[in-house]
Each structure stands twice: as structure tokens, then as C-alpha cells.
Amino acid sequence: MEEIKNLWIYQTYDVFKTYDTGVKLDYVILIFILFWIAIAVGKRLQDVRNKYWKTAFPFVLVFTFVEGLRYLRGVDYLNYALIFKYQGEPSSLTELIYLFVQQSFHALNVPYWFPFVFYSLAWCLGLLYLLKDYRQSIKYILPLFVLLSLGAFETFIRQSFAWGFVFMFMSELLKDNYKKALLFVICSVLIHNGAFVFILIILCVRLIKRPANPYLMILLYLFGMVAFNASNLSYLASLIAKIPYLGDTVFGSYIANADKWFSADAVKDKFARSLLTKVGTSFFDISIIILGYLKIKYMRDTELKRNSLFYYNLFCLTVALLQFVFTIEIPKRILTTFYGFAAFVLAWLFVDKTLINKYKSWYALLQLYLVVYFLKEILFASNQLFIWDNSGQYYFNL
């Protein structure tokens, strides 16, 4: 009887509804603190030789607090909160780590927001694990990565939890520590089976030994954004449906429903962008493609160049493909999570004095775009709620 009641409570809400709260002072203050700490800690991590994790602790604390205590931010938030509180939907048995974490929290009788704190901590620690290898440019990478990834992080709840281990996998893969890399692959897939797709993309990019042709990338990017109709991808459904999979997995359900994800009906107008947004975004993305190529072209063949090549190709290929599927939810979810890796390319561009002096106006426009992006997407985000706002019109029996 209790299970029926809980399921009824879960089903009475539009769990994927979005909320526009307007500007809230507590949100603005906390976001400024978060980015100030990210900048300050990033600079400190670049300057100190030892005590990496001790130095990074203020950022871990602030990020986990600000993001872990958010409320209704991201279309998946209420869905996961209600599932945790009322167990309205069981997790796949193949996602054992996620299931274990959820059941452990249930056994401890923690409040609904505690898992979000834990997921934020996992993502943050995973990112810092990866960035430990890039101390020479971490003062740029850390704040830029948070800036460009925050929207995807807040939206894709369990996917972001899995990314904590995907970051660690990337770190070990690029150092050729394959045993450790495999361990982190297993952890990420046992949190969210869809992490297998991220791993596959990363492995494919790792095999590429030359920088992506910038002219080809720009051509693909513009064609996907301007001329391509996403509904034309429906023919892929029959091919994807033939991929072997385990039926009792999230990944398997995506494949089984490929005809829905790639059909004309899957194209959602709400993901469509205005002309101004397209112009601004394409300027930013194409600038990274061009300037990044110029940077890598004249780098000496060192480990840094090989890693730079990997991140450059990862950004170029995923951002170009993203334009083809921007209005299709599932492929967009997969590719959007890679957007933050633009931070690596940007960081290497911002430390190159030769390029800066040669393209001063170009760099100034890039910096202006980042400021506008911060104001539009982060500081003045439509939803600015925290858990202490769980009342009145935002009360959901949590």
C-alpha cells in the first residue's frame, strides 16, 4: 500500500518542468564566490609545488556546497529527488555502484538533497584528479571548465556522477596506465551504463595522431548548424537497434528506443537556438578550432603536445557533431558533456604570448564572449533556487 502511495505522489508532478525564478541575491552571491574561489584556487595550484589536494580543498568545499544544495536546477533534478524520496523507479541492476549508493543513503535515512551533494563531490574530485596533470595551465582550465560545463553538470544528474570516474579514466589513459584506466571505466559504467558511449568516443579520439583539419571541422560545423535537418538521422535507428546490448540497462533502453530518439518526432523545438545565439556560439567555437590549430601546429613534439592534440581533437569532433543533433535530446546529452574540454584549448591559447600579440582583437572578442556567456548562462540563469527555497510554489513533498 505504501509503495502505491509513493508511486502516486511521484506521478502527480511534472518532473521535467523548468522554472524561471528571476534574479535572487543569495544565488548571485554564491555564484560569485564559487568562481572567485575557482580562479583563486586555480592560480594557487599553479604556483605551489606540493600539497595539491590541501590547496584544492576550498574549491571542493565551495563547489560541493553551492552545487550540492541547488534546487530544481536542471530538468532531471525533481525526477531524481522524487525517485530517491519515494523510490518511484528502480535503478537497473547492472548499475551496481549507483544502486549501492542509493540504498546506502536510504538506509542512513538522509534527506533528499544529500545524494546531490555526494554527486557534486564526486564530479569535483574527478575533475581535480584529471587537472593534477596540467598544473602549468590549471589557473585557466579550472574556472573555464566549470564555466563551460556547469549547465550540463546540473542537468544530467547521474551522468555527471559517472563523469567523476570518466575524468579519472582519461587521466590514466593519457599516461598509458591501462589497468587503472580500466578500473575507472568499470566504475563509471556501473554508475550509468551510458558512460560506455563517453568511453568509446574518448578511445576513438585517442587513436588520432594528427590534429583535426580545421577547414573540414568548420565546414562540418556550419553544415550541421545551418543546412542539416536533424530528422534526416531517422535512418540510423535501424542500424543502432542492431547493436548488442543488455536489456536491463539505461544504455540498452536507449538502443531499444533508437527509433524514437532519432525519428522526426524526437526533434524538439525547445532546443532550437536564435540567430544571435548561433552567431555568437559559432564565432566562439570556430575561433577555438582555428587558434587551437595554430597553437598545436608550432608546438614541439612533447607529451604536452600529444595531450594538447587529444583535447583539441576531442573538442573539434564533438562540437562539430553536436551541431547535427542539437535538437535531438539523447545525442545532445552525450555530446554536450564534452563542451567543457574547450577549457583546455583556451588555457593553452591564453598562455601563448605570441598568438595573443598577433591576434589581440580576436582574443579580446573571445574574452568578451566568455563574460557574456557567464552573465547569460550562469549569473542570470532562469532557475536560481537552493534547498532552502523548498516551500510555497516550489514545495514538492520532499
Q: Is 279 exposed, middle or buried (0-12, 13-18, 19+ CB in 10 A)?
A: exposed
Identify the pLDDT of residue 332. 87
Residue from 308, 295, 353, 346 nearest 144 by CA:
346
Within 8 A by CB and 6+ apart from 67, the residues are 116, 120, 150, 153, 154
Residue from 78, 36, 84, 152 nearest 385 by CA:
78
Mean pLDDT by 10 residues, the chain (398 residues): 58 81 96 98 91 96 97 91 75 81 90 96 98 93 97 93 97 95 96 93 94 95 80 56 54 53 50 77 96 86 78 96 84 92 95 91 95 95 95 87
Identify the pLDDT of residue 9. 64
Identify the pLDDT of residue 72. 94
Q: What is the pTM of this model?
A: 0.89
C-alpha span between 157 and 174 (Å, rounded)? 26
Identify the pLDDT of residue 75. 86
C-alpha span between 385 and 394 (Å, rounded)? 9
CA 265 distance to own-chain centroid: 25
Identify the pLDDT of residue 245. 52
